[in-house]
């Protein structure tokens, strides 16, 4: 478990790019616990504002901007969301401030370039104390002999809570996200982190997450997957989506082809009915959401919610073509 | 008898077109009030059906029962009837999908047998 910092409450384990994480945590306050190639780190986030970035690989510690750039360079990050109460967030901020030796370093907020106001780089002494100063720009640093800092995590404890079931965005407690042993992240196509500094749309994101939560809470919904360009960015529920997203994307492209034949208007959704249930796919921002349901579910109810999803009419031009 | 069954669909509220299509794009029968290019439609639908079957098979070798595609101005239902032959229904967004789906389930076997 993370040393000193509040543990918080686990609400989900997922795999996504940093860009995706930052754009989907507008209502989240807590820790994003990060695992990259067996090493661990975290992002402290307060309602969409990243306050601290930290990553430790062996004796090398990355903080602030350096850690941010490292996370950003990763096409995929395995992470767990641990929600903080107001009290826990306050405590975390004060601990982080003390650890930095610079209370101002953890003031919530962002710089004009979207980066947290926390020092981009700092150096840790062998006693675990940290100092920072102007003009001091080390890109990495080594921890002291004891190897501990206020940010340090115990990988054993981490793996324990990382396996817990989740309730992200209103999920039922038995929903599970991105089981271990999934596709090797190195095999996934790279998603450009471009736009990470672009202004977020917290209200729009909030509405989308709220609606996703509604879908997940509906009786009969078994799993939800969000995917993009053959890449599964979020998978909730006990289902192997490894091969599903590629076929789903082909199906959507073919369905959109109907717009060239008929004056259909923009694509809204496609539903496949099989004896075991239904598969619904609809646009969700620049991604797609795929919902798997049991056979007896009320399709009309899901259709209504899907129509309210942000980005369900992304290709207005399609309907105007003959 | 075959056309009688198809007429059961075309009289449903909001349904504008019913077609029986072969996956080669050949239209075997068509009852319609709309104005679509049957051959183009058949070609695209064949792709969709193939990919839908492929997707269904990824989820445990399940046979595909029906595909429902919703656009802003039209909805489209399609179901395999026999090897390489399927039915396509086009309706307005306000049509009662549950009713159409029910009618499809009810008459699917009869349609398959009469092909």
pLDDT digits (tens, 9 = 90+) for A129-158: 333 333 332 333 333 333 333 333 333 333
Q: Which candidate from A260, A268, A319 shows the least CB-CB separation from B70?
A: A268
Q: Does the beta-carbon distance from B65 to A274 stay under 8 Å?
A: yes
Q: How confident is the model at residue A192 (pLDDT cuts 50, 70, 90)?
A: very low
- Quick check: A119 and A130 in contact, CB under 8 A? no
Helices H / strands E in chain A, number of each: 7, 14
Q: Does the beta-carbon distance from A272 to B52 stay under 8 Å?
A: yes
Q: Does the beta-carbon distance from B48 to A299 stay under 8 Å?
A: no
Least confident of A47-61, A174-188, A193-207, A273-287: A174-188
- From the candidates A235, A244, A245, A258, which should be mutated to test the interface with B, based on the most B CB atoms within 10 A? A258
Residues from chain A that touch B72, judged by Cβ atoms under 8 A, are 264-266, 268, 313, 319
Q: Which candidate from B56, B71, B74 shows the least CB-CB separation from A274?
A: B56
Q: Mean pLDDT of all residues in chain B?
A: 84
Helix (H, G, I), strand (E, B) or coil at A268: strand
Least confident of A53-62, B8-17, B49-58: B49-58
Q: Does the beta-carbon distance from A261 to B44 stay under 8 Å?
A: yes
Q: State which residue of chain B sits closest to A267, comparing Cα positions.
A: B71
Contact A313/B at CB under 8 A: yes
Residues from chain A that touch B105, judged by Cβ atoms under 8 A, are none
| Residue whose tokens read 């449903």 | B12
Q: What is the pLDDT of residue A308?
A: 66
User: What is the DSSP code (8-state) at residue B26?
Assistant: -
Q: Does the beta-carbon distance from A268 to B72 stay under 8 Å?
A: yes
Q: Which of A130, A132, A104, A129 is nearest to A118 (CA)?
A: A104
Q: Is the pLDDT assigned to residue A36 strictly greater than 70?
A: yes
Q: What is the pLDDT of residue A221?
A: 80
Q: Is the pLDDT assigned to residue A81 strictly greater than 80?
A: yes
Q: What is the pLDDT of residue A196?
A: 32
Q: How confident is the model at residue B89 (pLDDT cuts 50, 70, 90)?
A: very high
Q: Is the pLDDT assigned to residue B61 strictly greater than 70?
A: no
Q: Is the pLDDT assigned to residue B49 strictly greater than 80?
A: yes
CA distance A284 to chain B (A): 15
If one compares A190 and B12, the residue with the highest pLDDT of the two is B12
Question: SS3 string of A101-139?
Answer: CCHHHHCCCECCCCCECCCCCCEECCCCCEECCCCCCCC
Contact A238/B at CB under 8 A: no
pLDDT digits (tens, 9 = 90+) for A163-174: 332 222 222 333
Interface ipTM: 0.91
CA distance A158 to chain B (A): 32
Instruction: Name the pTM for this structure.
Output: 0.53
Q: What is the pLDDT of residue A181?
A: 34
CA geometry: angle A179, A182, A186, nearest 5 deg? 135
- CA A101/CA A151 separation, integer angstroms: 13
Q: Is the pLDDT assigned to residue A311 strictly greater than 50?
A: yes
- What number of residues does chain B have? 115
Q: Does the beta-carbon distance from B71 to A276 stay under 8 Å?
A: no
pLDDT digits (tens, 9 = 90+) for A221-234: 877 778 877 777 77
């Amino acid at each position: 478990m993370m040393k000193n910092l509040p543990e918080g409450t686990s609400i989900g384990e997922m795999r996504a790019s940093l860009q995706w994480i930052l754009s989907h945590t507008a209502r989240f306050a807590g820790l994003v616990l990060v695992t990259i190639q067996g090493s661990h780190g975290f992002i402290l986030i307060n309602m969409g504002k990243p306050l601290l970035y930290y990553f430790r690989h062996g004796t090398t510690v990355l903080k602030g901007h350096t850690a941010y750039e490292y996370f950003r360079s990763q096409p995929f990050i395995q992470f767990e969301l641990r929600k903080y109460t107001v009290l826990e967030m306050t405590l975390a901020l004060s601990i982080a401030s003390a650890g930095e030796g610079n209370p101002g370093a953890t003031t919530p907020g962002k710089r004009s370039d979207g980066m947290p106001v926390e020092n981009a780089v700092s150096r840790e002494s062998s006693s675990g104390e940290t100092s920072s100063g102007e003009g001091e720009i080390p890109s990495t640093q080594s921890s002291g002999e004891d190897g501990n800092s206020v940010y340090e995590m115990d990988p054993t404890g981490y793996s324990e809570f990382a396996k817990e079931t989740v309730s992200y965005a209103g999920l039922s407690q038995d929903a599970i996200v991105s089981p271990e042993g999934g596709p090797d992240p190195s095999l996934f196509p790279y998603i450009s982190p471009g736009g990470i500094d672009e202004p977020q749309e917290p209200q729009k994101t909030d509405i989308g997450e709220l609606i996703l939560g509604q879908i997940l809470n509906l009786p009969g919904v078994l799993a939800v997957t969000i995917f993009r360009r053959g890449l599964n960015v979020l998978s909730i529920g006990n289902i192997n989506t490894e091969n599903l997203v590629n076929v789903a994307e082909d199906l959507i492209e073919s369905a959109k082809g109907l717009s060239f034949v008929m004056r259909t208007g923009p694509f809204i959704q496609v539903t496949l009915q099989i004896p075991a249930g239904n598969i619904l796919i609809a646009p969700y921002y620049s991604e797609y959401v795929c919902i798997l349901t049991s056979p007896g579910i009320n399709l009309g109810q899901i259709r209504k919610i899907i129509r309210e999803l942000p980005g369900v009419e992304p290709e207005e031009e399609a309907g105007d073509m003959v | 008898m075959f056309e009688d069954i198809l007429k059961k669909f075309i009289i449903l509220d909001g349904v504008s077109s019913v077609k029986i299509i072969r996956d080669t794009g050949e239209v075997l029968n068509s009852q319609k009030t709309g104005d679509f290019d049957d051959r183009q439609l058949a070609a695209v639908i064949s792709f969709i059906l193939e990919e839908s079957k492929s997707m269904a098979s990824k989820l445990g070798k399940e046979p595909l029962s029906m595909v429902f595609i919703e656009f802003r101005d039209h909805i489209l239902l399609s179901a395999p009837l026999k090897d390489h032959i399927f039915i396509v229904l086009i309706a307005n967004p306000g049509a009662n999908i549950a009713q159409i789906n029910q009618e499809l389930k009810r008459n699917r076997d009869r349609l398959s047998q009469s092909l």
